[in-house]
Structure 1
Amino acid sequence: MGKIGNCPDEPDRVEICFQAGHSGVKQIRYLLGEIFELVGYGECFNSFPAIAAHVAAYGRMYLYNLMKITGEGNYLYCDTDSLIVNETGLKNLRSQIDDRLLGGLKVEETTNYLNIRGLKDYSTETKEVIKGIRKNAVKLQDGVYEQQQWPSFKGVLRSNEANIYKIKKIIKNLNREYTKGTVNPDGSIVPFVLDETARLPLQF
């Protein structure tokens, strides 16, 4: 964003401008009495994405290594920074558990009940995790919740009522179709495997 002028009496908003004789559009933002033009989406000064990419990749490989230590069939679910394992898997990970060591594992919860419905969507005896559903949401029926929606900064500007912040109630219907692999009748998952011998025809 680059400042291009002042507009003390203009309401906050975003406008899409079409220029005669030019292809494409231009985005103008009116904000707090000033006018800004979107000039691009490049990296900010001193930004170095390679560091974040390396940290994220290292974390994935570290989690994969923990899964190998746990042993196939002993881990039930993995998230960005955690594993849900059975008793045998926990024993195999004992050497990696140290809640005082940076990067070490710690046991967050022990449960006799676990219902895994999909990615970031599971329940234990003491908690329920559902991505996109607030903790204070009201369950209307299985897979249907009512909750508050707090608009983002962009959403407020696009509403053309930037001087009013509206919190509204919405109904969220969950689509719990699993698309990362084949679900077997016993609930186990067979992941999709890319056939590297297959060659798609080149299209020009």
Structure 2
Amino acid sequence: AENWIKIGDTPDEPDREELLFISDSNKVMRIRYLLGQMFELKSYSESYNSFPAISSHVTAYGRIYLWQLIQVAGYGNYFYCDTDSLIVNDKGLDNLYCMINDTELGMLKLEETLSHLVIWGLKDYETDKKTVIKGIRKNAVSLGNGVYQQELWPSFKGIFKTTNVNKYMVKHVTKHLTREYTKGTVDNSGRVNPFVLV
């Protein structure tokens, strides 16, 4: 979290954020004018009642469990995995069958059966029923091969980077997907071979 300290009152100043470069000491100050007051960013700290070690261990355990499921599915029987899901072929499904139970905590649930799957990369795939593309909204307009237009709603911080903080401006942005896979080398069959570190 950012720790802002009030350093003064500025009733006639418009809301904005500034970076001040102090030349003789090579320091940078971040100043925020907000609702007639002036604040300085003093430090960053963990939020109150936050303890990231718990979520880190839960995430690590989930990744280990997912890796164990991939091993049970068997080499060549899985196509894709995400944080909480696996896409496998019929043989992989047979191997995982004893771990499938729709209602029991910690077990797998069969979400859907696919006849069509195109995987472009991480969080970027297309099935019979849905298209998942990280960073692209569901209501985005496709303009062509890997080109999408969507609305960009600015965050609280983003508002301070505009010239007029009294107006909330929703912009339209065009995103171009390169779809270049960078987590390994893809051979002609589509199989991903991991990088070898020497």
**TM-score normalised to structure 2 length:** 0.93
For residues 41-76 of structure 1, the C-alpha deviation after alignment (integer angstroms, 9 at most, x for no partner) is 122343322112111111111111111111111110
Q: Report the count of equivalent residues.
A: 195
Structural RMSD (CA): 1.4
Alpha-carbon distance, 1:130 to partner = 0.8
* Aligned twin of 1:105: 108
- What is the one-letter code of the residue matched to 1:36? F
Structure 1 stretches lacking a partner, 5+ long: 196-204
* Aligned twin of 2:73: 70
Match of 2:138 among 132, 135, 140: 135
Matched, 1:145 2:148: yes
Alpha-carbon distance, 1:8 to partner = 2.7
1:119-198 to 2 correspondences below 5 Å: 119-195=122-198
- What is the one-letter code of the residue matched to 2:187? N
Alpha-carbon distance, 1:88 to partner = 1.0
> Partners of 1:18 and 1:194 in 2: how far apart?
42
Whose RCO is larger (CA < 8 A, sep 6+)? 1
**Percent sequence identity over matched residues?**
58
Alpha-carbon distance, 1:20 to partner = 4.8
Structure 2 stretches lacking a partner, 5+ long: none
- Secondary structure in 2 matching 1:99: coil
> Partners of 1:20 and 1:72 in 2: how far apart?
59
Alpha-carbon distance, 1:19 to partner = 2.7
- Out of 131-140 and 38-47, give the one that drifted further: 38-47
Matched, 1:48 2:30: no
Alpha-carbon distance, 1:15 to partner = 0.7
Larger fraction in strand: 2
**TM-score normalised to structure 1 length:** 0.90
Alpha-carbon distance, 1:96 to partner = 1.6
